[in-house]
């Protein structure tokens, strides 16, 4: 199998597993206990917290461990918004979209390349807005937002800024002080760490906003209750330490892999790279092969693990809410695949995957009446006019 779905999750680095194992067995103490086992667990937890803080240039006591970015997102936004309004964008991760739709908070349009329209954002901010939330790197397209500029606009109007940095955390340089963000969410399993653990970063002056009522301030600064999963936190700390050392080399290698993948599609008709041409994380490549349905392509490209922005459910074709929000034509959006590269991806795997993509596209297009209509320059908008939108 060729695994090109690193944006979904990553395998645990063996060094991370080795670091965690003692805390499941011999060093099994509860960090709240005052005996030797508890003291050892607390030291390990503190070491992990410092390693995470070092990765994003935060202070030690500005990091709280959570179960992952989704929980961190919910903690920050629901507790900071109070009785006011929140603003986010229609291309955000599904957990943000769902939260905002449940609470009837404001979701703004983005530009056709997926970049936030700064003028629209500033116009939308009012005295009733408490917080703005934006993904640093989009999980489907890899689009990289100008978070520093967004923070500047927010703070000019006295509004807080939260960023879900899950797809950029440990992959690109993040300096929370330079970006001047108020809150940040991330997960361990995107950086070769364990599943089930993540972090929320907060500026110290905002900690009280996140603290639970009647919480124990000695457990994760009162932000999250319960026994802290020391082995998982140790794993996240070790993963953060490793990516800090290896990030720049990995970024350069992954950039080369993306260029290779894109170059192999240049002789194909009607193939589109979705997202910004100038502001993106190269580890995520979203490609549309017009005339082919995304999930059909997935089934035809052999033992290559990728993601599709479309899905066939209840006999209805649905498309990605991200590509739809970018204004991409439905017939192009429903033909998308997301390739995401990681530190174990090889050039030969990319070559094989893209070769298989070409073969699959040729096969599917020969059977596709839609492709025939496209080649004859027929208007196919009506076919996709009522195509349902989908979060996949």
Active site residues: 312
* Under 8 Å between Cβ of 161 and 145: no
* Under 8 Å between Cβ of 132 and 125: yes
> Is the alpha carbon torsion for 361, 362, 364, 368 positive or negative?
positive
Cα–Cα separations (whole angstroms), residue 34 to 20, 31, 38, 215: 22, 8, 6, 20
* Dist CA 53 CA 65 (whole Å): 11
Q: Which residue has the tokens 């690193």?
A: 6
* Dist CA 194 CA 11 (whole Å): 8
Q: Could you please report the per-residue DSSP string of 195-249? A: TT-EEEEE-GGGHHHHPPTT--TTTGGGTS-S---HHHHHHHHHHHHHHHHHHHH
* Under 8 Å between Cβ of 307 and 337: yes
Q: Return the half-sphere exposure (C-beta side, CA atoms, 13 A cut-off) of residue 247.
A: 17
User: 320 pairs with which residues across the strands?
Assistant: 390
């Amino acid at each position: 199998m060729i695994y090109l779905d690193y944006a979904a999750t990553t395998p645990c680095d063996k060094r991370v597993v080795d670091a965690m194992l003692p805390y499941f067995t011999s060093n099994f103490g509860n960090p709240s206990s005052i005996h030797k086992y508890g003291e050892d667990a607390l030291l390990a937890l503190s070491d992990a917290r410092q390693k995470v803080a070092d990765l994003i240039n935060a202070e030690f006591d500005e990091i709280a461990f959570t179960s992952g970015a989704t929980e961190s997102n919910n903690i920050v936004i629901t507790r900071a918004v109070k009785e006011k309004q929140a603003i986010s964008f229609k291309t955000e991760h599904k957990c943000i979209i769902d939260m905002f739709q449940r609470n009837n908070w404001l979701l703004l349009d983005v530009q056709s390349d997926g970049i936030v329209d700064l003028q629209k954002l500033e116009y939308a901010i009012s005295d009733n807005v408490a917080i703005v939330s934006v993904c640093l790197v989009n999980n489907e397209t890899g689009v990289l937002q100008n978070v520093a500029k967004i923070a500047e606009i927010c703070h000019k109007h006295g509004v807080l800024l939260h960023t879900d940095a899950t797809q950029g955390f440990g992959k690109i340089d993040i300096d929370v002080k330079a970006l001047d963000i108020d809150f940040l969410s991330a997960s361990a399993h995107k950086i070769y760490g364990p599943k089930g653990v993540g972090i929320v970063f907060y500026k110290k002056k905002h900690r009280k906003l996140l603290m639970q009522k009647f919480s124990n301030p000695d457990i994760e600064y009162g932000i999250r209750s319960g026994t802290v999963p020391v082995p998982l936190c140790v794993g996240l700390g070790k993963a953060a330490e490793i990516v800090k050392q290896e990030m720049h080399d990995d970024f350069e290698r992954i950039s080369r892999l993306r260029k290779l993948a894109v170059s192999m599609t240049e002789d194909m008709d009607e193939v589109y790279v979705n997202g910004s041409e100038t502001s993106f994380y190269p580890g995520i490549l979203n490609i549309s092969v017009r005339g082919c349905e995304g999930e059909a392509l997935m089934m035809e490209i052999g033992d290559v693990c990728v993601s599709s922005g479309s899905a066939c459910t209840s006999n209805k074709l649905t498309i990605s809410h991200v590509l739809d929000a970018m204004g991409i034509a439905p017939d192009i959006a429903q033909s998308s695949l997301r390739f995401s590269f990681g530190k174990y991806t090889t050039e030969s795997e990319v070559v094989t995957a893209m070769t298989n993509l070409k073969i699959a596209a040729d096969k599917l297009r020969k059977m596709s009446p839609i492709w025939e209509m496209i080649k004859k320059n027929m208007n196919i908008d009506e076919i996709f006019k009522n195509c349902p939108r989908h979060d996949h």
